């Protein structure tokens, strides 16, 4: 599979058999929720607040996919996404999954991307999410430990064509 940024969330959901629905059409979310996923028999439905900004919509979809892929326990047959500050660990895990899915560190490294502005543009994420990612990337660049795990090398391999075509050329320095 050849991957590129911004990550195509709809294709990932489709490949996983997850059906995505706009809340403006299904009215499933309750006050304060920006997304939810519901297991109906064998089928996952992912509902997102389609009135939010594009960056927020993408983060919500990635976060909900995180709950599904990480196999988190359901509460009353669903996960609800809220911005509750006292969030349980599964919420932090889904947030981390979303950040990694939307802005994979080894791909940003391959492209030599550092700033929040670049991350927001290239990954199509919100300024807020990009800022958090840029701070994390600064730590990773400091350590210079990329492609150390087989899984990360596999991710890099899937993005390699995209990275080679888009990385900054020395002449642009």
C-alpha of 52 from chain center: 16
Judged by CB under 5 A, does residue 120 bind Zn ion? no
Size of the site for Zn ion (CB under 5 A): 3
SS3 17: coil
How far apart (Å, rounded) are the C-alpha atoms in residues 74 and 18? 16
Residue number with CB closer to Zn ion (66 or 110): 66
Judged by CB under 5 A, does residue 94 bind Zn ion? yes
H or E segment at 22?
strand 18-22
* Residues 26-55 interacting with Zn ion (rule: CB under 5 A): none
Q: Is the dihedral of CA 64, 66, 124, 119 positive or negative?
A: positive
Residue number with CB closer to Zn ion (28 or 91): 91
Sequence-distant (≥ 6) Cβ neighbours of residue 68 within 8 angstroms: 16, 18, 37, 44, 46
- Name the one range near Zn ion by CB under 5 A: 8-16, 19-27, 91-99, 126-134: 91-99
Residue number with CB closer to Zn ion (68 or 94): 94
- Name the one range near Zn ion by CB under 5 A: 20-28, 81-89, 106-114, 140-148: 81-89
Judged by CB under 5 A, does residue 56 bind Zn ion? no
Sequence-distant (≥ 6) Cβ neighbours of residue 26 within 8 angstroms: 47
Residue number with CB closer to Zn ion (16 or 138): 16
User: From the list 58, 81, 101, 103, which residue makes contact with Zn ion (rule: CB under 5 A)?
Assistant: 81
Residue number with CB closer to Zn ion (3 or 36): 36
How far apart (Å, rounded) are the C-alpha atoms in residues 61 and 124? 13
Judged by CB under 5 A, does residue 58 bind Zn ion? no
How far apart (Å, rounded) are the C-alpha atoms in residues 118 and 18? 30
Q: Which residues would be at the binding site for Zn ion (CB under 5 A)?
A: 81, 91, 94
């Amino acid at each position: 599979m050849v991957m590129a940024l911004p990550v195509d969330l709809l294709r990932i959901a489709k490949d996983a058999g997850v059906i995505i629905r706009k809340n403006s059409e299904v009215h499933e979310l309750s006050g304060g929720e920006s997304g939810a996923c519901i297991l109906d028999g064998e089928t996952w439905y992912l509902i997102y607040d389609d009135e939010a900004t594009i960056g927020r919509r993408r983060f919500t979809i990635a976060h909900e996919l995180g709950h599904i892929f990480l196999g988190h326990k359901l509460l009353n047959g669903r996960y609800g996404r809220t911005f509750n500050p006292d969030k349980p660990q599964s919420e932090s895990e889904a947030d981390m999954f979303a950040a990694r899915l939307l802005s994979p560190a080894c791909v940003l490294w391959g492209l030599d991307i550092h700033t929040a502005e670049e991350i927001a543009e290239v990954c199509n994420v919100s300024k807020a999410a990009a800022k958090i990612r840029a701070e994390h990337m600064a730590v990773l660049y400091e350590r210079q430990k990329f492609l150390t795990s087989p899984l990360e090398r596999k991710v890099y391999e899937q993005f390699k064509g995209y990275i080679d075509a888009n990385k900054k050329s020395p002449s642009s320095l």
